[in-house]
A = this chain, B = another copy of it.
Amino acid sequence: MSTPSRFKKDKEIVAEYESQVKEIRAQLVEQQKCLEQQTEMRVQLLQDLQDFFRKKAEIETEYSRNLEKLAERFMAKTRSTKDHQQYKKDQNLLSPVNCWYLLLNQVRRESKDHATLSDIYLNNVIMRFMQISEDSTRMFKKSKEIAFQLHEDLMKVLNELYTVMKTYHMYHAESISAESKLKEAEKQEEKQIGRSGDPVFHIRLEERHQRRSSVKKIEKMKEKRQAKYSENKLKSIKARNEYLLTLEATNASVFKYYIHDLSDLIDCCDLGYHASLNRALRTYLSAEYNLETSRHEGLDIIENAVDNLEPRSDKQRFMEMYPAAFCPPMKFEFQSHMGDEVCQVSAQQPVQAELMLRYQQLQSRLATLKIENEEVKKTTEATLQTIQDMVTIEDYDVSECFQHSRSTESVKSTVSETYLSKPSIAKRRANQQETEQFYFMKLREYLEGSNLITKLQAKHDLLQRTLGEGHRAEYMTTRPPNVPPKPQKHRKSRPRSQYNAKLFNGDLETFVKDSGQIIPLIVESCIRFINLYGLQHQGIFRVSGSQVEVNDIKNSFERGENPLADDQSNHDINSVAGVLKLYFRGLENPLFPKERFNDLISCITFRSTATRT
């Protein structure tokens, strides 16, 4: 047994216990406060999100309205123009105008999409946040109810522990007092026995009797105290056991509360919060991603139109828009004077020699001119290529303007550093204009030369034909070797029409008689070509071909050639069909005679084939 000073007094133990319980109570209150605070923060966050999306919806609506106004403004402007009428009619418009319309369409699409975005914010996303906020508050209340119950349970357990501890203390104290009383009795008995064991014979009988009853009394008392002690001892043991068991149960309960129940309580508060927030934000993301996809589709359409920015087809379309201005005029025909029956160059004796000389002069002059002009042409073409390179430089990538620095806090605009640093642009443009200047100078020089060559070549070829094959052979051998064999493809003249009867705008019967062709070459050739390449072609005979090409082919046929002879389809099928249509349309007497036309037309209106005769 140690010194009594090491024992804690009952009061101390109780105070210690109470402070420990007080601490737990304080923690429980604190926990509720934390959960409440968390819920408040959530509600605040959800309120912020609602405000944010409400405001953003406003911004998107305004943006959408502005874009709509912008598109409408220009749409209204163009709706009345000729091009737009055209556009409405057949969508077949000049490529830059097409780009312009698609740009406006894209703005309308963006306007529509941002309006949808705003709509989704207001009618879907914000409503979700509202509901999550409601849910959070409700969940917190529910969890508070559960917490209240758990806290009560815990307090009950702690109270129980207090009670059993007190009981233990009481019984133990009683046990100790019973023990000390028992010890006192034992001590008295010992003293009695020691006294009687002294000189027993010295004691008087009376005294001895007195002593005996005293011993008996002490013994009885000792027995009584022994019983009392045993009883108390047992009670104390039981109380201690109860205390220990309750202690164990209390610790387990506290442990369970802190480790498991508290976690469950937080889970109750959280129930559905993250999942619902997830869905709300995913709705926002879905809207944004869809907006992006739509925008991207629109941009792709524009990119496609930009890819199709094409000068050649635009030129074609431009010329077709004004056929009166661009249709080649009738040929100048030989006008015989006062019944002059000769309509060809005559190379009879008196003029033959002179013509021969002139022919030879022309020949050598042409050779020189062609060499010179070929040089000019090369320079012109090289200069044109330089200009083409200048205007097709790929200087349109603006990615670096959109580089976000890692820290989103400070992104500085880099636009000013790109493309248009003014000095470089000015220099480039000056350079380009200088090159243009040179190009046009050379082009004029070339056109002048080629005009002269055309005239001389025409005369030269006519003389050649007039002077006959023998001279041509001679010409072939005497041609200067440094003249390129095919100097200018389109300047190479062909034999004049072999037919006296007109092919286009003439009479078919006369032509057939005159040419000896049962079917005119033009009809045969065009139909053969269309048979080969055109039967799968959409819009054949409906879509008009190239005016230039139609004229080219027509002229070629008029010269008696067959431009569709080679089996390469380097002609546009629509142009070939156009030539055939032009030919039939031009006939002096139509293929279906006028007097039969109405009969034929009315024939088609008969429903049954049987009635058609």
A551 to B6, CA, bound (A): 32
- A440 in the interface, Cβ–Cβ < 8 Å? yes
Instruction: Tell me if A176 and B338 are in contact (CB < 8 A).
Output: yes
**8 Å CB contacts to B: which residues of A275-323?**
275-297, 299, 302-303, 306, 309-311, 314-315, 318-319, 321-322
Known: A100-B49, A252-B458, A267-B311. A411 touches B258 (CB 8 A): no
- A215 in the interface, Cβ–Cβ < 8 Å? no
- A127 in the interface, Cβ–Cβ < 8 Å? yes
- A370 in the interface, Cβ–Cβ < 8 Å? no
- Residues in B with CB closer than 8 Å to A38 are 318
Instruction: Tell me if B271 and A387 are in contact (CB < 8 A).
Output: yes
**8 Å CB contacts to B: which residues of A380-432?**
387-388, 390-399, 401-402, 404, 408, 411, 413, 415-416, 418-420, 425, 429
- A273 in the interface, Cβ–Cβ < 8 Å? yes
Instruction: Tell me if B411 and A112 are in contact (CB < 8 A).
Output: yes
Instruction: Tell me if B443 and A146 are in contact (CB < 8 A).
Output: yes
A1 to B339, CA, bound (A): 7
Instruction: Tell me if B30 and A237 are in contact (CB < 8 A).
Output: no
- Whose C-beta in chain B lies nearest to the C-beta of A83? B41
Mask: chain A, 333-355; 1 = CB below 8 Å from B; 0 = not: 01101111011111010110001
- Residues in B with CB closer than 8 Å to A52 are 70, 74, 103-104
Instruction: Tell me if A123 and B258 are in contact (CB < 8 A).
Output: no
Mask: chain A, 59-79; 1 = CB below 8 Å from B; 0 = not: 100110011001001100110
Known: A293-B402, A391-B275. A285 touches B267 (CB 8 A): no
Distance in Å: Cβ of A46 to nearest Cβ of chain B:
9
The 8 Å CB contact of A252, one of B275, B282, B457, is B457
- Whose C-beta in chain B lies nearest to the C-beta of A306? B281
Instruction: Tell me if B31 and A271 are in contact (CB < 8 A).
Output: no
- Whose C-beta in chain B lies nearest to the C-beta of A70? B55
- Residues in B with CB closer than 8 Å to A80 are none
Instruction: Tell me if A330 and B398 are in contact (CB < 8 A).
Output: no
A95 to B142, CA, bound (A): 23
Instruction: Tell me if A266 and B447 are in contact (CB < 8 A).
Output: no
- A157 in the interface, Cβ–Cβ < 8 Å? yes
Known: A398-B283, A454-B252. A240 touches B340 (CB 8 A): yes
The 8 Å CB contact of A251, one of B266, B293, B418, B458, is B458
- Residues in B with CB closer than 8 Å to A20 are 329-330, 332
Instruction: Tell me if A285 and B258 are in contact (CB < 8 A).
Output: no
The interface on chain A, measured as residues whose beta carbon lies within 8 A of the other chain's beta carbons, has a size of: 222
- A23 in the interface, Cβ–Cβ < 8 Å? yes
Known: A45-B97, A345-B241. A250 touches B332 (CB 8 A): yes
- Residues in B with CB closer than 8 Å to A149 are 444, 447-448
- Whose C-beta in chain B lies nearest to the C-beta of A440? B142
Distance in Å: Cβ of A596 to nearest Cβ of chain B:
32
- Residues in B with CB closer than 8 Å to A285 are 299, 302-303, 306, 396
Known: A56-B70, A285-B302, A338-B172. A245 touches B397 (CB 8 A): no
Distance in Å: Cβ of A405 to nearest Cβ of chain B:
10
- Residues in B with CB closer than 8 Å to A213 are none
The 8 Å CB contact of A348, one of B237, B249, B326, B344, is B237
Mask: chain A, 259-275; 1 = CB below 8 Å from B; 0 = not: 11111101110111111
A24 to B391, CA, bound (A): 35
| A9-17, A513-521, A525-533, A601-609 - interface stretch | A9-17
Instruction: Tell me if B45 and A96 are in contact (CB < 8 A).
Output: yes
- Whose C-beta in chain B lies nearest to the C-beta of A41? B83
A160 to B217, CA, bound (A): 176
Instruction: Tell me if B324 and A99 are in contact (CB < 8 A).
Output: no
A31 to B322, CA, bound (A): 9
Please give me the 8 A-B residue pairs with the lowest Cβ-Cβ distance, nearest first.
A252-B458, A258-B328, A272-B391, A30-B325, A282-B396, A275-B391, A290-B402, A283-B396
Task: Add 11 more A-B contacts to A238-B351, A247-B334 (CB < 8 A).
Answer: A45-B96, A103-B281, A139-B436, A145-B440, A169-B337, A244-B334, A244-B343, A244-B462, A263-B315, A283-B398, A292-B299
